[in-house]
A and B are shown apart, each in its own frame.
Chain A
Amino acid sequence: MGAGSLEALIIIQLIYLIAALGHYLPLSMNQLDVGIAGYFAIGAYISAFLTRDHEVAFALALIAGSVAAGAGALIVDGLATRVRLTGFAYAIFSLSFAESLRIVLNNVEAVGSSGGLVGIPAHTTLTLVAAIAVAVLIGFWWLDRTRLGHLRTAIADDEFVVPIFGVPLTATKLMIFALGGALGGLAGGLYSHYVLFIRPDDFGFALLISLQLPMVFGGLDRFYGAVAGLLLLGFIPEFVRELAQYRLIVMAAATLLVLILRPSGLITHRTIAWVKSRLRGAQAEPTR
């Protein structure tokens, strides 16, 4: 594989990683917001529209896309929280928004409808995406050590107890949702300025599954799971070219197998504790 090609592959996988981490935020609080494809699309379309048609600086366009996506997440999750949806219902609710957006985009001529948006200026570089990905990963690591992070964990553990401690439950949740959506939008903006051509069908169920499968496979307990899952399922097919026709069926079977044998996914907090204890050579107590 040539150098230019490997670089391009790394860029797209890092973009997916950023989106997956954005998707992870609500999931880590047991809120099944699966509208990530929609937030990704918002970021992709808005930033592309700004840079292509209105000569807005790339950084500004990216931010605009993220903010819009974050706002989208706020609306969807705000409504869902208001009605106190849970589990499966939440998933269908958010998915419906994402799919509705896709159908609307297919019909709006101004952004090319189903033919797509062409001629997006190329701005995404490996350095930029890598820097953002590293920043996001550090952010996640650091988040767990801040008050907001502890709140997130508390909400995940037992949502109903949290308000007792005087914490504005809804506001906290919404903040985290918006952050998740914004990350999705950021990844979307990086995506559109990498492929230079986007269309609504790029942001459908297939995108959702391609993000979710590796995450569930890698483990939802910690964000390291998403990283591990994407690395494994993203890069391995590259080196097993002979799979070709059977790629999808093998991946689906592998995922099914892993989840049956180990429903928590590959990496759990115990795995991390084990790794840490190995690294430090000392007894590390598995903490939550």
Chain B
Amino acid sequence: MGRMNVRAIAIAATVLALSQGARAQAQDLQLATLLPITGPYASYAVEFRLGFEIARDEINAKGGVAGRQLKLDIIDTQSNNGQVVSLVRKACGEAFAVLGPSMSNEAQVAFPVANGMKCPSISSSAAASGLTDRNRPWTFTYASPAQIITPQAVELLADKLKPKRAVVVIDRGDAAANDQGPLAEKSLKAKGVETETLTVSGSDLDFGPVVTRINGLNPDFVVLSTTDKGAVGVLKELKRTQSKAAILITQSAFTPLVTAAGPENLEGVYRYTEFDPTASDDARVKAFIETFKSRNNGRAPTQLATQTYDLLFLVKYLVEQVKATGAADKLADERDAFTKKLQSLKDWQSISGPMSIVPGGYANKPVTVLVFHGGKPERVSAN
């Protein structure tokens, strides 16, 4: 009888111990992201969100993060910066790490708050100059900022094409365009190219007037640093008027809308980006594109979607590396370890190639310059 009791107790104790361990392991990895699901910026959120969701589904289907299911809380900013402060505080209170905001202007509001709360925050795509530098050590961006990749791309093309006269077209009403345009102008002038700047407005109905003016200046190189609608409008008009200038479309100006302009209009047109999924041979990227298209009415993804997709895999890697368990009492320590690991990231195999994080808190990735031939983008090398 005593022996049976002891055995029973031993079995009960073992079962209890195992179930405790199982419960600790089964604790979900709670993440949060802030996106403009409603409001004027809602159309941008489509790609961001889909990239996150596809990654989350893939990760969970393959066993999650070290056995933990990945839960992503998608919070709507309502495209309203005034809401972001309270939402990021909520996110930092509930999640292990915050992935975002993805929009630069929302990140500008969120990052000081997150940094103050010692809450690791990684934006997938915010590329505003100086954003993460101002908010160390807890905030990061997965993207390469405009001040890095724009000069790289422009200088590459300036060396290759050796233009004599250039025109930079800027939409001052769009923050990203207004960031990248002057950078392009600066790079061109530094290379000794005679450069003029014209402005457009994204809400223009007719690009005839500005293109007539561009043609009047007779440039051999035109940089379009505008919104996607502006880029398509100017591009089509330039082609219609048989302009001979080489055309470069900036990263922010290029969206699937521009691809829809058609192979004829895009022939010989350059663009630069941190990454173009459709130009990649990687099998994993191709699979992602197919999944994405099936969930987005057949439209292909841009780097906006691959950034969020890959970011989730980066987080998975980091969490597994620091062996975070999600125990509530270990939160501060695990966040600290996570952040340090991220800050020291070197040559991690991202979806677009090896990626490192620099002291400023952003990603160092080589820029990709592409040219369109027959409707397909091809890599441009520096001669």
Query: Does chain A touch chain B in the assembled complex, meaning CB atoms less than 8 Å apart?
Result: yes
Residues of A within 8 A of B (CB): 1-2, 4-9, 11-12, 15-16, 106-107, 113-116, 118-119, 122, 191, 194-199, 201-202, 206, 210, 244-245, 247-248
Q: Tally B residues with Cβ within 8 Å of A.
A: 33
Given contacts A2-B90, A12-B83, A115-B178, contact A195 B109 (CB under 8 A): yes
User: Which one of B15-23, B74-82, B292-300, B350-358 is at the A interface?
Assistant: B74-82
Nearest-CB distance from B92 to chain A (Å)? 8
Q: Please, which residue of chain A has its CB at the minimum distance from the CB of B85?
A: A8
Contact residue among B37, B134, B178 (Cβ-Cβ distance under 8 Å from A118): B134
Nearest-CB distance from A155 to chain B (Å)? 33
Nearest-CB distance from B104 to chain A (Å)? 9
Q: B192 at interface (Cβ–Cβ under 8 A)? A: no
List, in ascending order, chain B residues with CB within 8 A of A118's CB. Answer: 108, 130, 134
Q: CA–CA, A247 to B252, complex, Å? A: 28
Decide: B173 and A106 in contact? CB cutoff 8 A.
Answer: yes
Contact residue among B37, B82, B108 (Cβ-Cβ distance under 8 Å from A191): B82
List, in ascending order, chain B residues with CB within 8 A of A244's CB. Answer: 37-38, 76
List, in ascending order, chain B residues with CB within 8 A of A198's CB. Answer: 81
17 contacts between A and B (CB under 8 A): A5-B87, A7-B86, A8-B86, A11-B85, A16-B82, A106-B173, A115-B128, A115-B175, A116-B105, A116-B175, A118-B130, A122-B112, A195-B81, A197-B109, A198-B81, A199-B105, A244-B37
Annotate B292-313 by CB proximity to A: 1 below 8 A, 0 otherwise: 0000000000000000000000
Q: Please, which residue of chain B has its CB at the minimum distance from the CB of A8?
A: B86
List, in ascending order, chain A residues with CB within 8 A of B39's CB. Answer: 206, 248
Decide: B175 and A199 in contact? CB cutoff 8 A.
Answer: yes
Chain B interface, DSSP helix/strand/loop, else mixed: helix
- Residues 338 to 378 of chain B near chain A (Cβ within 8 Å): none
Q: CA–CA, A4 to B79, complex, Å? A: 21
List, in ascending order, chain A residues with CB within 8 A of B79's CB. Answer: 206
Q: CA–CA, A16 to B82, complex, Å? A: 10
List, in ascending order, chain A residues with CB within 8 A of B83's CB. Answer: 12
List, in ascending order, chain B residues with CB within 8 A of A195's CB. Answer: 81-82, 84-85, 109
- Residues 284 to 342 of chain B near chain A (Cβ within 8 Å): none
Q: Please, which residue of chain B has its CB at the minimum distance from the CB of A210?
A: B80
Residues of B within 8 A of A (CB): 37-40, 76, 78-87, 89-90, 93-94, 105, 108-109, 112, 117, 128, 130, 134, 172-175, 178-179
List, in ascending order, chain A residues with CB within 8 A of B178's CB. Answer: 113-115
Decide: A115 and B82 in contact? CB cutoff 8 A.
Answer: no
Nearest-CB distance from A251 to chain B (Å)? 10
Q: CA–CA, A114 to B117, complex, Å? A: 28
User: What is the count of residue pairs linking A and B with beta-carbon distances less than 8 angstroms?
Assistant: 86
Given contacts A9-B86, A116-B105, A118-B108, contact A2 B175 (CB under 8 A): no
Decide: A12 and B172 in contact? CB cutoff 8 A.
Answer: no
List, in ascending order, chain A residues with CB within 8 A of B128's CB. Answer: 115
Q: CA–CA, A201 to B109, complex, Å? A: 14
Q: CA–CA, A119 to B39, complex, Å? A: 25
List, in ascending order, chain A residues with CB within 8 A of B40's CB. Answer: 206
Q: CA–CA, A1 to B32, complex, Å? A: 14
Q: CA–CA, A40 to B60, complex, Å? A: 47
Given contacts A195-B82, A245-B38, A248-B38, contact A116 B89 (CB under 8 A): no
List, in ascending order, chain A residues with CB within 8 A of B90's CB. Answer: 1-2, 5
Which of A113, A197, A247 has the most chain B CB atoms inside 10 A of its CB? A197
9 shortest A-B CB distances, which residue pairs? A2-B93, A8-B86, A5-B90, A5-B89, A9-B86, A197-B108, A4-B89, A8-B85, A114-B178
Given contacts A114-B175, A195-B81, A199-B105, contact A247 B38 (CB under 8 A): yes
Q: Please, which residue of chain A has its CB at the minimum distance from the CB of B128?
A: A115
Q: Please, which residue of chain B has its CB at the minimum distance from the CB of A1?
A: B90
Q: Please, which residue of chain B has its CB at the minimum distance from the CB of A195?
A: B109
List, in ascending order, chain A residues with CB within 8 A of B81's CB. Answer: 195, 197-199, 202
Knowing that A1-B90, A196-B109 touch, tell me 19 more A-B residue pairs with CB under 8 angstroms. Answer: A2-B93, A4-B93, A11-B86, A113-B178, A114-B175, A114-B178, A115-B128, A115-B175, A116-B175, A118-B130, A118-B134, A119-B134, A191-B82, A197-B81, A197-B112, A199-B105, A206-B40, A210-B80, A244-B37
Q: CA–CA, A119 to B37, complex, Å? A: 26
Nearest-CB distance from A43 to chain B (Å)? 14
